[in-house]
Chains A and B, each alone.
Chain A
Amino acid sequence: MKASIGGYARAESVPHALSLLGEADGVGRILAGGQSLIAALNLGVSAGDMLVDITGIETLRGATLDGDRLVIGALTRHGDIARDPLIAEHAPLLAAAAPLIAHDAIRNRGTIGGSLAHADPAAEYPACVLALDATLVLEGPAGRREVAAEDFFLGLFETARADEEILTAILIPCARPGDRHVIREAARRAGDYALAGLAVVRREGRHRIGAFGLDDRPVLCAGAMAKWDAGDVDGMIAALAKDIDPPSDTQASASYRRHLAGVLLRRIAAELGEAQ
């Protein structure tokens, strides 16, 4: 099966990309690493798209510091996230998440912005940005706006981004001394999408837990977080089961996924020194 494409244009800047999207009159599609989009086009999910290739916009690539925030450009590739010392220092959760995504050849092209915009419920980064309390930057015809990660993921492959908006950057509060970042997942084979996974950030005795593969969207596990903050590990596991609503599919049943989530959370708690 081959992708059927209406047209292709290379954007030189964010304003240029926005004007191309406007011209495309509703059938414009942003092309970043293509590692989800081209696969979908090959499967015939959509046809006649006008592709706006944003990969040439250099200002959207790489990480920088802005005060106590780390700014990661949307076009930063998974492989760069795994290797960038600035990200390892200030957002170690993402540095640990990147190698869990797919395989080398896919990590060499796939981008963090593409992953967040695609919003696969089993993807690592969406759960990470929830746990990190990150903010996503969107630029559209009406200007620039910031959306908290918590308000970004609305459903299965559905986000708060409007079709004519471009996700340009991710703003992350820098890790402070003593903060702990942990990600764990269960997958059938290395590189597969996870059956279940959890991303955890501990800061000054408070916890944020992002779950992936465990609902129709990435989930911030508020019930489990409150129990953990109160030091109740068993209560945390019980609450987690209610925070999530895992799917059943050919890979795993909902009850197995729920079980895995509890096992992963106990392991993370043990890794962070909680008595079991």
Chain B
Amino acid sequence: MSEHFRSRIDLEFTVNGEAVELTVPAGRHLIDVLRLDLELTGSHAGCEHGVCGACTVLVDGQTVRGCLTLAAQLDGAEIWTVEGLTESGAIADLQAAFVERNALQCGYCTPGMLASAKTLVESGSVPSREAIREHMSGNYCRCTGYEAIVDAIETVARTRAGVEARVEAKVR
């Protein structure tokens, strides 16, 4: 192999606020670095081709697919997973609303759902239910049927925007 191509890559980035230095095989995915190397098993691997959203985490403030991102591409990045977001309290209201509204059953999809929902409720405005569905369309849930997830996100978006939270689901 040429000296310019490497099969192992030295990386420095931060995960949940902590500096991490490690050497990974060139083809190592972010999701595997998190789950296998760093033992942060909150983020899940489902389809491994970008469709289900179970592996969604935050990189430099934006959602990305852990299964479609090579760790090699993330030197210097700031990565947040559900573990760090929980510890920092950044999504405590979302998590409480998910529990309150039964927006999870098996929980497999939930860490990815929370990462995606976080960027939506941070936008400051109150999205329509349709906009919430559109935003969350890249996160599959095989248990809940989505209605409760949309309810939970809507509640948090309203509360964060200072609009009174809905007390009960509208009759549709």
Contact = CB atoms under 8 A, between A and B. Distances in A.
Interface of A: 1-9, 20, 23-24, 31, 34-35, 38-39, 41-43, 50-51, 53, 55, 79, 102-106, 108-109, 189-191
Nearest to B27: A5
Main secondary structure of the interface of A (DSSP, over half): mixed
A24 B49 contact: no
B137 A23 contact: no
A4 B53 CA distance: 22
B5 A8 contact: yes
Which size bracket describes the interface of B in this complex? 35 or more
B56 A8 contact: no
B143 to A, nearest CB: 18
A108 B26 contact: no
Contacts of A24: 2, 5
A109 B1 CA distance: 29
A41 B50 CA distance: 12
A190 B69 contact: no
B65 A106 contact: yes
A89 B26 CA distance: 40
Interface string B128-166: 000001110111000000000000000000000000000
A34 B1 contact: no
27 contacts: A1-B48, A2-B29, A2-B32, A5-B27, A7-B2, A8-B5, A8-B27, A8-B70, A9-B5, A20-B5, A23-B2, A34-B70, A34-B73, A41-B27, A50-B5, A51-B70, A53-B72, A103-B139, A104-B62, A104-B63, A104-B138, A105-B53, A105-B64, A106-B68, A108-B62, A109-B68, A191-B137
